[in-house]
């Protein structure tokens, strides 16, 4: 059990450090994609070996990752409007922060094979992964607020995710990095982030309750206690 509690936060912390290092060291796109692939593979192996994730949960994580990656592509024509943030929020809320982080990271990684990989891929993986972590860590608080609380925070993450991605743009293209520059960058992306937030609100309002109920039911069936008889 101790391994289970320690391994997840270490993965997330290492990934954040990894992304910042990749950004500042100006690693090429090909190397960045290769390194991120290796990182994800070792993460899954680590989770499996420490029993953080069993076969049924892994199937759910893989399915939700593919769903997020596939559904992002047809919505690409509308700036900011896509269901990935909602899927990450639901996954983190129902399957836990670590499993949710993996869904967020894999959704970005898969969809960018169609939309285009680049230095932004790693930041998208982190942004959506942290969205799932938020909903997993603060599940009890959000649960007290009910579905309206879930919708509110899902909408808010349209702006939080936008702020995270803005840092990549600022670090990549602007020098010197100052507080004024950071504020300006966030203001310029306001309408794009608003479109993202509106999309999150719509998806959470229409599909939030049903998605949560289905995954909670699946998760409950996945944790049946078996008693051995002699």
Q: What is the pLDDT of residues 176-191, one digit of tens each?
A: 767 777 788 778 888 8
DSSP character for 26?
Answer: T
Residue pair 165/192 in contact (Cβ under 8 Å)? The answer is no
**Structure tokens given for 28:** 């090429």
The predicted pLDDT at position 3 comes to: 44
Residue with tokens 């600022």: 170
206 has a pLDDT exceeding 70: yes
pLDDT value for 27: 62
What global pTM score does this model have? 0.78
Average pLDDT of the segment spanning 98-121: 85
Mean pLDDT of the 203-215 span: 91
Q: Does the domain spanning 54-222 belong to CATH 1.10.1760.20?
A: yes
Band (pLDDT 50/70/90 cuts) for residue 43 is: low
CA distance 75 to 198: 13
């Amino acid at each position: 059990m101790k391994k289970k509690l320690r391994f997840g936060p270490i993965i997330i912390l290492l990934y954040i450090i990894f992304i910042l290092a990749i950004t500042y060291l100006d690693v090429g796109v090909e190397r960045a994609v290769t390194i991120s692939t290796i990182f994800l593979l070792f993460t899954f192996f680590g989770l499996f070996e420490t029993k953080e994730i069993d076969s049924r949960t892994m199937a759910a994580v893989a399915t939700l990752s593919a769903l997020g990656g596939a559904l992002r592509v047809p919505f690409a024509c509308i700036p900011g409007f896509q269901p990935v943030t909602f899927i990450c929020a639901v996954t983190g809320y129902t399957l836990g922060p670590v499993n949710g982080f993996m869904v967020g990271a894999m959704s970005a990684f898969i969809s960018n094979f169609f939309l285009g990989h680049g230095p932004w891929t790693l930041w998208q993986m982190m942004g959506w992964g942290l969205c799932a972590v938020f909903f997993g860590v603060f599940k009890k608080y959000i649960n007290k607020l009910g579905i309206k609380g879930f919708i509110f925070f899902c909408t808010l993450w349209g702006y939080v995710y936008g702020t995270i991605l803005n840092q990549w743009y600022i670090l990549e293209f602007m020098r010197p990095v100052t507080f004024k520059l950071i504020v300006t960058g966030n203001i310029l992306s306001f309408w794009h982030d608003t479109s993202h937030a509106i999309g999150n609100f719509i998806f959470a309002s229409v599909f939030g309750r049903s998605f949560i109920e289905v995954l909670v039911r699946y998760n409950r069936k996945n944790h049946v206690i078996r008693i051995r008889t002699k």
